[in-house]
Amino acid sequence: MHRALASIARITGLLGVTKYEPPAPSGMGDWRAAFPSLVPKTDELRVQAVPQVLEELRGHPFIATVKMDGTSSTFVMVDGALHACGRNHSIAEGENLYWYVAKKHRLAEVLAGSSLAIQGEIVGPGVQKNPVGLKDKSLFVFNLYDTRTGEHLGDDELRKFCAQHALQPVPLAFEGERFDETVDSLLAKAEGTYAGTTNQREGIVIRPTTPRRSAVLGGRLSFKAISNRYLLDERD
């Protein structure tokens, strides 16, 4: 088992393999518009592919959040109208996953008159086999981005915003005042199960507590560590 985990870590790290994301459940037939250019997309690199980021974060306060296993989504007001977006495009309003979540969490009301974009993971029945074990589809917020200033909000601001608007932030895995992790230690800490289940969690996302820019990434300092046990389960 340990040899298999090590082999996966080496091979996927060297090749830069990322998790396969299926097409948006709604399909391109529900295409509304291109992904809004005023919001950055949510893709993050694995730490094995960019180990230099560890030195950029070293010594700084940090957080690690649980990477929810679902589908990425973005919600933002454009010209006074809510756009519900998948990974690559804005999706027409209708009977689909993104608008179900938008209406469930009243996101048009939450974002009315706001320059903020909400980005999160939609999880639940019918999404990636629902490893989180939810009874209904829900949104877990992992980013708040201010389209006016072009900056991400920090973790404290994100959690306060979620509390004010009855939204669920992604769970905290661990945090610290001085980052001093290695690739191996992060891969070990990425392992675990989703709360209340025996299902392997996908991994963790690591960031400074206060947003910082990364010269290595050419943007926000944020990266992920994917659990090798999760990868093994995906291949079974």
Residue 134: pLDDT over 70: yes
For residues 151 and 211, give the distance between their C-alpha atoms in angstroms, rounded to a whole number.
8
Q: What is the pLDDT of residues 11-64, one digit of tens each?
A: 555 545 444 444 444 455 689 999 999 999 988 999 999 999 999 999 999 999
Q: What is the pLDDT of residues 114-132, one digit of tens each?
A: 999 999 999 999 999 999 9
Cα distance between the two ends of the chain: 13
CA 220 to chain centre: 14
Q: What is the pLDDT of residues 93-104, one digit of tens each?
A: 999 999 999 999
Average pLDDT score, the chain: 90
Q: What's the CATH number for 2-235?
A: 3.30.470.30
Residue 5: pLDDT over 70: no
> What percent of the chain has a predicted confidence (pLDDT) above 90?
84
For residues 107 and 82, give the distance between their C-alpha atoms in angstroms, rounded to a whole number.
8
Indicate if the alpha-carbon torsion angle 99, 158, 190, 48 is positive or negative: positive
- Count other Cβ atoms within 10 Å, centred on residue 225: 27
What is the reported pTM? 0.87
- Count other Cβ atoms within 10 Å, centred on residue 58: 12
For residues 109 and 169, give the distance between their C-alpha atoms in angstroms, rounded to a whole number.
18
Nearest residue to 52 (alpha-carbon basis) of 227, 234, 218: 218
The answer to whether the CB of 202 falls within 8 A of the CB of 19 is yes
Q: What is the pLDDT of residues 164-213, one digit of tens each?
A: 999 999 999 999 999 999 999 999 999 999 999 999 999 999 999 999 99
What percent of the residues of the chain are helix, what percent strand, and what percent coil, each to the nearest 5?
25, 30, 45
Q: What residue spans define the domains of the chain?
A: 2-235
For residues 88 and 197, give the distance between their C-alpha atoms in angstroms, rounded to a whole number.
31
Residues in contact with 60: Cβ distance below 8 Å, sequence separation at least 6, in sequence order: 178, 179, 208, 209, 212
Under the phi-then-psi rule, with left for phi > 0, alpha for psi from -120 to 50, and beta for the rest, what region is 80? Answer: left
For residues 2 and 92, give the distance between their C-alpha atoms in angstroms, rounded to a whole number.
46
Return the C-alpha torsion angle 115, 89, 140, 205, nearest 10: -100
